[in-house]
Structure 1
């Protein structure tokens, strides 16, 4: 059980101020894990810190961090190591998206998505890898997306960042396998969080998909249940992942038939 595996473990979660990041933190705290919560909104983190420490009696540390700032990533992780010592699990959850057609995507948005979703994730991972390799123990969980498997209209840049996360994770998994370090990618479909406040300015995508949007608590439970196990991928919902398998086998047919359905943003 996750409760037994996670008790006393040190878990770092980026993007922990809300959404699935906050839900993962709550479940980990309930399992007796010590937490380091990172996000840009320090006020939300402090509120969550107080809630979790009072309710579960675990140690919670919070740091303000914009993962796009790689210098700040190094400074914050150096502080984390001084405060708690080794990191057992890193959950790279920070990320955002903006849905626009490729010719409308602004360069600042393109750079921003890659800096947060890809470079920031790599920067945080690079900070924990040396001590995990030395200890021959650890778990890196990267929150990717079904968009990393099936690129859809109006999400060309976001899909590209999540393709990059999957490629990085797959290579990393092979690199660290003999160091007893697990690498898990989480590939959810749309989740009912504040993500779409930025991604879907017009609200059309949420309106079209709200019938099958995932709840953050459900996704968080799947992530926490996978911690310190040999779980390669978590694909949610399962029926959506079937689409990615069909896409790999019959890409031209999938795009021809599916483009009208997928173009709902």
Structure 2
């Protein structure tokens, strides 16, 4: 190939690439719109639904016409939210007080959901708590609490929901992890461990349930503007507030798109995706950079 031919080829590619990309985006949007209509009437169970991301999930799915089961410990909040969803979006929404860290309550949540609606189409394991402190200064009971809610809560609800999904040969389980389940942070060892556990659990289960047409989607947001900071187990240590990070509405919107696209995993944020690529290539460098993180996050 001559230099002139090479230039022509490059010019042609530079012209075709934007057209191809634009066509792909339009196609994606059109097919997603068609699939979005399938959410109408689907039964969606959401844990940790009283505030933050969970509440945003409830509103987002209600807008799509889904039937909603709200689960959380704060029964007053989810009962009020259920009423609001019914009035604003004319959907059937129920509230079931649940502490997902207790296996019996998690199973009761699933049983009552099936009793009311007949089945579950989508289970969103969103309930979670966090803690911010150096490991050597932390209370080990807090580590156990985080594992009980973040990991075991996911396991309990999933284990209870799977039989009915297998029987119907369809279903979707959405586990709300974190970028900290891909790259751990200092002062968040316990929280990161729960998200790594959730990641491993999801990756294994995805393969096991594939033959039953049950999909597993893992969502990995970064810091989100929710009450998780204000409700942290060692919140007095924290320098920043709940107004830092991406919006919970964005997380909900991207989660629905990930479900519609049948994604196995979705990491939210361009910067977060780039950061994880850098971490995979230069982990020691990232370790060094992260040694500076605690001074911006917790009090001395």
> Is contact 2:186–2:290 with CA below 8 Å preserved after alignment?
no
Q: Which moved more, 1:249-258 or 1:190-199?
A: 249-258
Give the Å deviation of 1:17: 0.5
Task: Determine which structure has greater relative contact order: mean sequence separation of CA pairs < 8 Å that are 6+ residues apart, divided by chain length.
Answer: 1
Q: Following superposition of structure 1 onto structure 2, how do residues 137-176 of structure 1 map, counting pairs within 5 Å?
A: 137-176=170-209
Q: 1:12 offset after TM fit, Å?
A: 0.3
- Which of 91, 101, 111 is 2:124 aligned to? 91
* Equivalent pair of 2:71/2:98 in contact (CA under 8 Å): yes
1:233 maps to 2:265: yes
Cα separation, 1, equivalents of 2:280 and 2:296: 22
Query: How much has 1:201 moved relative to structure 2?
Result: 2.8
Counterparts in 2 of 1:213-232, with a 5 A limit?
A: 213-232=245-264
| Residue correspondences, number | 262
Which range is displaced more, 75-84 or 21-30? 75-84
1:250 positional shift: 2.2
Matched residue, 1:103: 136
Distance 1:262 1:250, change over 3 A: farther
User: Taking structure 2 as the reference length, what is the TM-score of the superposition?
Assistant: 0.83
Map Cα deviations across residues 177-213 of structure 1 (whole Å, 9 max, x no partner): 1221111111111001111113343441449x93xx1
Structure 2 unaligned spans of 5+? 1-32
CA change 1:173–1:263 in 2 (3 A) is: farther
* Aligned residue in 1 for 2:57: 24
Q: Is 2:101 the partner of 1:68?
A: yes
Which residue in the other structure is 2:20 paired with?
A: none
Please give the per-residue CA displacement for 1:203-250, whole angstroms capped at 9, x wherever unaligned.
41449x93xx10111111111222343111121212112212222232
Is residue 36–residue 260 contact of structure 2 (8 Å, CA) maintained in 1? no
How far the C-alpha of 1:50 sits from its partner, in A, is 0.7
Q: Determine the structure 1 residue equivalent to 2:222.
A: 189
**Structure 1: tracts of 5 or more residues without a match:** none
Whole-Å Cα distance in 2 between the matches of residues 45 and 101 of structure 1? 34
Q: Could you list the per-position Cα deviations for residues 19-45 of structure 1 after superposition, in whole angstroms to 9, with x for gaps in the alignment? A: 011111111111111011100001001
Segments of 4+ in structure 1 off by > 3 A? none
CA distances 1:94-127 after superposition (whole Å, capped 9, x unpaired): 0010111101111221110000000111100111
